[in-house]
Structure 1
């Protein structure tokens, strides 16, 4: 410590102007860690709780400090100057990093981050009243060689108003909130033996834990630079470190794990379980950062393959299977062509699943709250799918022909592979709304796994979806059972136009749900124009006339329609709660639970076929409604048709990245997760 103090004193001497007059120096020179203030809304309503962000942006090579800076440094200090009646809460800090300099451990931030503070607006504030928030901030900006104290006076004007928050402001603050640790709902236990301390933290055995580190918020207790170790014992994660001296009070801290995720921990003295399996830790002396599959990863991967296999039974995938059945039937006994076709189809599915999974992981890493099938929450994407399904329907009816889909054409080798690949792409895209059994655990785990392993889960899903056709192509006994080409193929093709047309209508309805009446008009008009253009294309094909301009026009129509529906400000269709139910609100849910009332909470979406089947077969049945009413059950519905960060965050609490999710909260009891395939008996049994 003496070495660091001497170095700090020398730094202060060299920067005497800073020490003599810090404020003047800071105003005269640019900050090494730039501070600014942001607020979630500038028109708070009376009685609102408004989140204020102190945004810190270090220059490359510089850093600032967590609440407990470690062996050196000083944390952010705030001195508020608030209007009468306005109060500021505690500072909520994001999960920090570790940095060892000359043997001293520091808890730091090297990337742009935000400290969050909730500011309470008085209930008697008058609309139109000005409320200027002002704060004097002080912090240390350090590099590996020098530390400089920095200050800033930050202010933001607010006017009492409606309390509305724009989508951009909500998304920005949601991203900052996602970097803040969440409180652990149970107390941890610690045990000290001499200089060694072990902290047992409640942590489900099914959840992944890697690159663990415990940051003590209780100061002057830990030897921060001492190595830490971690192990798993059942539903406990035990972190071991070193203390400076004996301690018998309460310990507050932060458990960092995986990729900068964090839990707020409060530990009391108690017994710590022994044994267990070692877990990698963060910081100096930690194992190399290799992505090793956690315990149970093989089962998770198996669930993803099995989930993909079962997707073939879902109604949203059935029309695509019809296309593949036609393709295989046309090949007859050509074993080589069948295998090439199946491989191309599989590659198309797996590549699409990897792209969708990669986009989802990238958006979540950037702070977006998205889940599986997120693309079906975007009206522009749904519109493109609608137009594609309209085109496929027109092709199956015979309005026009496309090499690779047409049933009467002998595909060339190149055309066949291309057609199979894009059929696989289509199958993967339309299959995502169907979250069948076994997929929930796999998709939820994928969001907690390292990127490489998460992508492997998505690839496993694609492999499962393609397995039936791989089996038919590579197992001669199965392929021999396929019917021979004949007139039945033409009729089958025409019948397959029916489910494709129904799929198109479903997508048009979903466009209305996402984008309201204006979106419905845009989607309907675009579909009609596409049909007219395809009819013209078919006429030119029959006449032998050039038709490249028609194909180009089709692409132009689709792109223009997507751009229009993406740019126009559209109000979504009003979502009224079902009779006897209320819309999801976490605060309302907590109130009902505190009152000891039973609650059935389910999350659904208009694009989720499994959800709709469960609602029709079990939830919306008269028997269920009568049983719930007699038992005083409150039914709460979370509609995930449009992207909703509140729902995404709540789903993540239960390890889910998409819908459906069914929860039952008994009176004065913990949540029970219900099966993904429901029956009336399952639900009525909750009331007994």
Structure 2
């Protein structure tokens, strides 16, 4: 485990390393993780002995290669790469060389990844050797030169404790001979890429374009960043999801970056971006290449997305998943009433094939346009650095208020208070304009809902090529409209629809019940956003809306002109009223829970994982229908609380009702487009994503299994 945490630091990483080295040299105090006991050790290198070995005798005017061979005393100890990652300490060498001799940068073998307590460590396990090239001047008298010496300061760690190591090594060049082990050590060093790479920064990522021959076999890819100081107040997110895209001889690696946390009372001067960036690209199966990158444009157009060693789900798979997800949205409670009346309006088309097809196409166009517009907005905002996801607009109070007034208007429309000519929700005959508007309406009110098929599709849509991501959102719209495309174009299906009659008016009024409950839920959400001080003015607008709609209905029933003027005036007044609403003071406190969860934060998660207990996190939002269903079915249950208590599970909740940058970053890391997201951490393990639809006993079984393993 690393011992010098770098997350959320306000001190430059290089200063941290110097302080750590000074502490190591002067005090030699054991630095340990929060869950481990601190321990003081004396000087020496008994945990990780090291020897210095030469490749052969030095020659004047040539580079002489020496190796520092590290030999852990037991298998539990590990050493560190030059950039140790989130924690740890890189090796420091202080050379004592003859005049004119010069030691170069150490050359390392391929490191491994070790995540402990949510911190990424770049380590070496078992024996390993670091090679150091030493430049020998042409005038050097190598036959009688004085011995060289080096003071090596490094860290040896297990997963519980870390011990600073110090060793003074000497080597007589005149007595140096070839060591047979050197060939294997040299072969283990990661080779340097001949061509120069390029890098650029986006608001949320470091992007490096690495020239890799197209015939190179790509296994489990990982990007080891060798330059930890990124400047401008940013730091690498080593545990974040890395994205790789490839086309031809170019492979682009993207690593997430995050802003250093700086207290308000601390002045922080961000350093400029680095002039070069170094690193190692792990190609999998023990292969890798070293590279040096310079600033430049990293093209992304026309690339094929891959992730790790395997390909991302191919585009047709994502499109099918989005299509299935859109299809399932038809049964959601806020969408079903609109679509039920849409089906009845199609039934009124009778045997008019042309009218039915035209109506179905107009409805589909409205749905697809709404989904595509929402997808384009998400992709554009994310490209600008905003951490947004599916239904992000519901994090804006004004949008929630607008949806509440809209749901209220639909409810009283179903009850017959007023009519909207041509709209399916009014129960009248279909029209192209009305069907198009109905499609827009259905897609908009469906945004709070997600389903199991949508999770992978929408998550992938945010990381693949933008044009392909937009196609995923279009497929979602097609799935939502698919039932009515089939009704419009397949006469046999229309024959199974009920015949028009007086019962349709009764059915329409019954559909006011689920839509009224939707309006009530949105009113509750308004209260959750801003409390009674915010809900009060909104209810005044609601009364004004109902009064205006009742007046419109009166004009319509008496066949008097002016209804359109009243409607336009009402829309204008409500629009002005919504924009003039006071800004909510603060979000209401999270609802009470049987599990007594901790509020999610990156620091809280790291502390929980370091405790050695299982951790369950659920990311939710008050506007997320699927979230609330899962909570009532699987989370807020006495059986779940009891199982968590017996297994010692730490429960954590991330409330995304309003924007939260830390939650947005976690969703992005997990490849999720939005909530719900459920993560389970076994002690010392990585996040396991649970299904978006939870079964009643899933969490109980996870807790019981975890208890048995321990």
Q: Are residues 1:365 and 2:383 paired?
A: yes
Counterparts of 1:160-239 in structure 2 under 5 Å? 213-214=209-210, 233-236=218-221
Change (3 A) 1:289 1:553: closer
Q: Are residues 1:570 and 2:579 paired?
A: no
Q: Is the 8 A contact 1:316 1:609 kept in 2?
A: no
CA distance in 2, matches of 1:263, 1:405: 46
Counterparts of 1:116-155 in structure 2 under 5 Å? none
Q: Hey, what does 1:17 align to over in structure 2? A: none
Q: Hey, what does 2:319 align to over in structure 1? A: 301
User: Which of 461-470 and 309-318 deviates more?
Assistant: 309-318
Q: Hey, what does 2:514 align to over in structure 1? A: 499
Taking structure 2 as the reference length, what is the TM-score of the superposition? 0.60
Change (3 A) 1:360 1:184: farther
How many angstroms does 1:315 deviate by?
2.2
How many angstroms does 1:527 deviate by?
1.1
Residue deviations 1:265-302, cap 9 Å, x none?
A: 86499974689xxxxx9999999932557652221121
Q: Hey, what does 1:588 align to over in structure 2? A: 604
Q: Are residues 1:671 and 2:687 paired?
A: yes
Counterparts of 1:148-547 in structure 2 under 5 Å? 213-214=209-210, 233-236=218-221, 261-262=254-255, 267=280, 272=285, 289-290=301-302, 295=311, 296-405=314-423, 411=429, 416-545=431-560, 546-547=562-563
The CA RMSD over aligned residues, in Å, is 3.9
User: Which of 672-681 and 342-351 deviates more?
Assistant: 672-681
Q: Is the 8 A contact 1:407 1:489 kept in 2?
A: no
CA distance in 2, matches of 1:269, 1:562: 54
CA distance in 2, matches of 1:333, 1:351: 28
Q: Is the 8 A contact 2:341 2:425 kept in 1?
A: no
Change (3 A) 1:293 1:664: closer
1:632 to 633, 648, 651: 648
Question: SS at the partner of 1:669?
Answer: coil
Structure 1 portions without partners, runs of 5+: 1-47, 54-66, 68-76, 78-181, 200-208, 215-225, 240-252, 276-280
CA distance in 1, matches of 2:434, 2:480: 17
How many angstroms does 1:360 deviate by?
1.3
Q: Is the 8 A contact 1:212 1:282 kept in 2?
A: no
1:614 to 597, 617, 630: 630
Structure 2 portions without partners, runs of 5+: 1-6, 16-117, 126-186, 197-204, 225-237, 246-251, 258-277, 705-710
CA distance in 2, matches of 1:406, 1:613: 29
CA distance in 2, matches of 1:403, 1:358: 31
Change (3 A) 1:344 1:191: farther
Q: Is the 8 A contact 2:221 2:281 kept in 1?
A: no
CA distance in 1, matches of 2:551, 2:326: 38
Change (3 A) 1:268 1:237: closer
How many angstroms does 1:542 deviate by?
1.7
Change (3 A) 1:683 1:544: same
How many angstroms does 1:227 deviate by?
7.2
Select the structure of larger CA radius of gyration. 2
Q: Is the 8 A contact 1:517 1:573 kept in 2?
A: no
Residue deviations 1:40-60, cap 9 Å, x none?
A: xxxxxxxx978699xxxxxxx
CA distance in 2, matches of 1:269, 1:608: 39
CA distance in 2, matches of 1:476, 1:583: 54
Q: Is the 8 A contact 1:227 1:285 kept in 2?
A: no
Q: Hey, what does 2:615 align to over in structure 1? A: 599
Taking structure 1 as the reference length, what is the TM-score of the superposition? 0.62
Counterparts of 1:62-141 in structure 2 under 5 Å? none
How many angstroms does 1:333 deviate by?
2.2
State the number of aligned residues: 475
CA distance in 1, matches of 2:672, 2:282: 33
CA distance in 2, matches of 1:256, 1:406: 45
Q: Hey, what does 2:274 align to over in structure 1? A: none
1:550 to 566, 570, 585: 566
More helix by share: 1
How many angstroms does 1:571 deviate by?
2.4
Q: Is the 8 A contact 1:231 1:238 kept in 2?
A: no
Change (3 A) 1:454 1:523: same
How many angstroms does 1:316 deviate by?
2.8
Q: Is the 8 A contact 1:441 1:656 kept in 2?
A: yes
Question: SS at the partner of 2:386?
Answer: coil
CA distance in 1, matches of 2:334, 2:121: 39
2:665 to 646, 649, 674: 649
